[in-house]
Amino acid sequence: MNRKVLTLVLIRKLNEVLLGYKKRGFGVNKWNGFGGKVEAKEGIYEAAARELREECGLVVLPVNLEKIGLINFEFVGDPLILEVHVFTSTKYEGHPFETEEMLPKWFHVTDIPFDDMWVDDKLWFPLFLSGKKFKGYFLFQGHDVILKHNLENITCF
Ligand SMILES: COc1nc(N)nc2c1ncn2[C@H]1C[C@H](O)[C@@H](COP(=O)(O)OP(=O)(O)OP(=O)(O)O)O1
């Protein structure tokens, strides 16, 4: 099995979460956090901060990112496992702006657009929103059907 290591950053204000509408590439036309591939010789926290800046202009110091999740995604017929490291932060600088990849928007925590997000999000977002940490695995058939999954609450990374 090959692995692709990716980041996903969810910026929070008191009762809001910043999501971005993906304009191209993997997950196009879905709302998601900000993130992407960890480059060679780059740390995961540094990659998370870089992707956030590139995709919506917000600046977060890697030290201000809190790792809250680790999810492995597998797709039937594809030998590539996506290893996604999920982070959150409330300490950022700047104002989010639209880029070639993402259109950012704040959502109230009671109004997350799950119908226009990856289907797995419905399962683990409640853990994130309630301040829990988690590890998970999802097996997808295509991009819309979860065949199998497990999700566990953990105390720390
Ligand atoms: C399959 O379920 C997923 N759910 C959620 N919520 N997020 C996911 C899922 N699979 C991948 N992701 C995240 C991980 C990353 O944040 C993005 C994908 O990043 P992308 O493929 O756009 O990475 P880049 O480095 O920007 O692009 P290239 O690989 O084309 O350079 O989605």
Q: What does pLDDT average to over the chain?
A: 98
Predicted TM-score (pTM) of the model is: 0.97
Is any ligand 1 atom within 6 A of the Cβ of residue 8?
A: yes
2-154 folds as Nucleoside Triphosphate Pyrophosphohydrolase (3.90.79)
Atom of ligand 1 nearest to the CA of 55: 26
Mean pLDDT across the stretch 91-110?
A: 98
**pLDDT at 35 (0 to 100):** 98
Residue 1 pLDDT greater than 90, yes or no: no
pLDDT in tens, 17-30: 999 999 999 999 99
d(CA 70, CA 83): 7
**pLDDT at 131 (0 to 100):** 97
Q: What percent of the chain has pLDDT over 70?
A: 100
CA 38 to chain centre: 13
Atom of ligand 1 nearest to the CA of 117: 6
Distance 26 CA to ligand 1 centre (A): 6
Measured by CA distance, the residue closest to atom 21 of ligand 1 is 26
Most ligand 1 atoms within 8 A of CB, residue of 21, 32, 80 to mutate: 32
For strands 145-154 and 133-141, give the pairing.
antiparallel
Distance 44 CA to ligand 1 centre (A): 14
For strands 2-13 and 16-22, give the pairing.
antiparallel
**pLDDT at 117 (0 to 100):** 98
Residue 57 pLDDT greater than 90, yes or no: yes
SS3 19: strand
AA identity, residue 69:
G
CA dist list (Å): 31 to 20, 23, 24, 63, 123:
5, 10, 12, 26, 15
* Residue 29 zone, left/alpha/beta (φ > 0; ψ -120 to 50; rest): left
CA 65 to chain centre: 13
- In three state form, how does the secondary structure of 42-62 look? CCHHHHHHHHHHHHHCCECCH
Mean pLDDT across the stretch 73-96?
A: 98
ipTM of the complex in this document: 0.95
Distance 156 CA to ligand 1 centre (A): 24
Distance 87 CA to ligand 1 centre (A): 14
d(CA 77, CA 37): 21
Distance 33 CA to ligand 1 centre (A): 9
